A and B are shown apart, each in its own frame.
Chain A
C-alpha cells in the first residue's frame, strides 16, 4: 500500500467515532487475517468468504496482496465494517407506499386495527403483529418481585447516602481496630445521643428490604444445614484458625472471617444473591467466580458471620441455655472500625437504616431485633471483655444531669 493510500485508509477510519465502530463477525475477521497472511505466500484457492472480502477491499481501493504487510489490519477491518454498516443502515430501505399509508392510519387510529380503513387493514394488521411481537415477551413473576424490591432498596439507599452526606463527618482516629479509648468516649456520648430519624419512605424500606433479608436468612439457614450435614456437623469454615486478624476481607482465609461464610458459596450451597442485602449498594450478586474464596472487600459484605474459633464449631456441640447467633445483618461496629471511626456499641446494622437487624440463630430460626443486645446483656457486635469495659466506663462516667456548665468561654457546650 502506498503512503497515500495508507493515510487515506487511516483518516477514513479516524473520521468514525471509536465507540461507534461496528465490528466484523468473528468468522469474517478470521478470514481477513487468513487473507492477509496467506495471500502473501501463495496463490492457492481462497474461500467464498475471503473472495467477498477481496471484492469489498477492491471497492475501497485498498490492495491486500503485496504491500499490505505495511497496512494496518485494524484500519482495514474498521473501514470495511463501517462501509458495510453504512450500506446496511441506508435509509433507502422503505416501506411500500401502501404500507406507509397503512402504518400512518394505524397510528392515527390509536394503534387499533379495527379503526383502520378497510382498504389498508390487511397491512395494518401486519403493523399490529410487529407491535405485538416487540411488546410481548415473557417475564417471570418471581424475578419481577425481586426487581421491584431491589429498585425500592436502591432508592432507599440513595436517600440514606444523601442523609449521611449531610452529617458532620467525624474526626478520624488512628489504628485499624476497635480502640478502647473510642469505646469509652462513645459510651459517654451514647447517653446523650438520640436517634434523629428522618422517616422518608420508611414504609418502603421496611417492607421490601426486610422481606428480602428474611428470605436470605432462610436460604442461608438451609445452606448451613446442608453444609453441616455433609461436614460432620461442622459450621462452614475455610481455615483452621486466624492469625493476627479476622477482618482483613479478601486477603487470605487466615485473615478473614468472611471467607468462612463464603465457603457456602464456594461449595454451591448458597448463591451470592442469598448473601446480598438489597440495601448494600456494593453487594455482590449474580454468578460467583468459581475461583473466589472470599468477598473482595468489606463493603461487599452484607451479613456478619459468627467469628470462628480455631478448629471451628460443631453445630451440635453447642448446648447452651441461650440462643446463639450465627449470622446477622452486617456489623456497624466493624464498618466503623475499618474506617477508623469511633464505634457506637449499641448501633443497629446499617442494612435497615438503623432500625434493627435480622439474626439467624443456630437452631435455624431467624428473628428481627431492634437492638443488638440479646440474652439480656450480650451485644452481638462485641466480645464479652469489651462489653464489660464499656459497662464499667459508663458506671464511672455517670450521666449528664443537666446542671453541668462549660469549663470556660472556649469550651463549646450547647444545651436544649
Chain B
C-alpha cells in the first residue's frame, strides 16, 4: 500500500492520473474539510455545497489530463470549485434580499471607512455557541456581493498572496488589493449589523 502521507498533493494527483485508484480517495480526503467549508461559505447552503463538492472532483477527473503538473494542485482545485459555485448561484437565480431598514452607506456621512479596532470581529475565544457563530458568520457573508465574497474566501482559504489571487482570478493586482480591502471592510460592517441584530433578538 502506498504511503501517501509523505507525498505532496501534486505527487498524489500524478499517481491518480496514472490510474492509481487509491490516490483519488486520498486527494478527496485531504481536501474534504477545507473545500467543503469553502463551498458552504460561498453558496451559503451545506446541501448545495456538497453537490458542488462532488461536481468539482468530477471535473478534476474529467480535466485531469489538462492540468499542468508544474503548477500547484490546490489553487487549481479551488478555482474549479469557485467556478462551479458561481455557476450554481447563477443557475439558482439566487437573488439577494435587501432590507429597507439597512443603512445605505452613501447617505451616511463619515461611515465610508471601517476601523477594525472599533469593530467586534468574530473572535474564536468568544463565549458563543460554535453553531450560532457559524450561522452569524454565514449571514454576514451572505450580505456581500459575489465578487467580494469570492476574493475574501479564496484569499483566506488558500492563504494566497495578492499576486497569486490576481493570477487565479485573472484580474490586475491593484484590483485584487482594493477588492480585498473592500471585502474585509464589508464583512466587518456586515458582521457588526448581524451581531447587533442578534443581541437585540435575545430576550432580556
Contacts and interface: CB of A to CB of B under 8 A. Distances in A.
A81 B104 CA distance: 12
A23 to B, nearest CB: 5
A23 B33 CA distance: 33
Contacts of B61: 155, 158
Contact of A22 (B95, B157, B161, B178): B95
B185 A147 contact: no
Nearest to B182: A91
28 contacts: A22-B95, A24-B97, A24-B98, A24-B100, A52-B101, A87-B104, A92-B105, A92-B106, A93-B113, A93-B185, A93-B186, A93-B189, A99-B114, A103-B180, A123-B117, A127-B184, A130-B156, A130-B187, A133-B122, A134-B41, A134-B156, A135-B37, A144-B36, A154-B54, A155-B57, A201-B21, A204-B21, A204-B22
A135 B134 CA distance: 10
B188 interface: yes
Contacts of A135: 34, 37-38, 156-157
Interface string B26-46: 001100111011101100000
A150 interface: yes
Contacts of B19: 200-201
B24 A155 contact: yes
Interface string B76-100: 0000000000000010010111111
Contacts of A123: 116-117
A25 B184 CA distance: 25
Contact of B105 (A87, A127, A151): A87
A99 B182 contact: no
Contact of B112 (A85, A94, A203, A207): A94
B106 A90 contact: yes
Interface of B: 19, 21-22, 24-25, 28-29, 32-34, 36-38, 40-41, 47, 50, 53-54, 57-58, 61-62, 90, 93, 95-107, 111-117, 119, 121-124, 130-131, 133-134, 137, 141, 143, 145, 152-153, 155-157, 159, 161-162, 177-178, 180-182, 184-189, 191
Interface string A41-85: 000000001001100100000000000000000000000010011
Nearest to A20: B95
B124 A22 contact: no
A122 B177 contact: no
Residue with the greatest number of chain B CB neighbours at <10 A, chosen from A49, A132, A200: A132
Contacts of A56: 100
Given A95-B116, A158-B58, A126 B32 contact: no
Interface string A359-371: 0000000000000
Given A147-B50, A150-B54, A139 B95 contact: no
Interface string A164-185: 0000000000000000000000
B12 to A, nearest CB: 14
Interface in A190-205: 200-204
B114 A95 contact: yes
Given A84-B98, A123-B117, A203-B21, 13 more contacts: A88-B103, A92-B106, A94-B185, A95-B113, A111-B156, A134-B137, A134-B157, A135-B38, A137-B40, A137-B137, A139-B36, A152-B24, A155-B24
B149 to A, nearest CB: 10
Interface of A: 19-25, 28, 31, 49, 52-53, 56, 81, 84-85, 87-96, 98-100, 102-104, 107-108, 110-111, 122-123, 126-127, 129-139, 144, 147-148, 150-152, 154-155, 158, 200-204, 207-208, 286
Given A93-B112, A126-B119, A148-B28, A100 B181 contact: yes
B21 A108 contact: no
B31 to A, nearest CB: 10
What 7 A-B pairs come out closest when comparing CB atoms? A203-B21, A133-B122, A126-B116, A22-B96, A131-B156, A87-B104, A204-B21
Contacts of B113: 93-96
A133 B93 contact: no
A155 B100 CA distance: 46
A12 to B, nearest CB: 16
B48 to A, nearest CB: 12
B50 A139 contact: no
Nearest to A31: B100
Contacts of A134: 41, 137, 141, 152-153, 156-157, 187
Contacts of A107: 155, 161-162, 180
B165 to A, nearest CB: 9
A85 B102 CA distance: 10
A210 B146 CA distance: 39
A84 B100 contact: yes
A152 B28 contact: yes
Contacts of B133: 133
B117 A88 contact: no
Given A155-B57, A201-B21, A88 B102 contact: yes
Contact of B37 (A88, A130, A137): A137
Contacts of B33: 139, 144
A3 B107 CA distance: 30
Contacts of B100: 24-25, 28, 31, 49, 52-53, 56, 84
A31 to B, nearest CB: 8
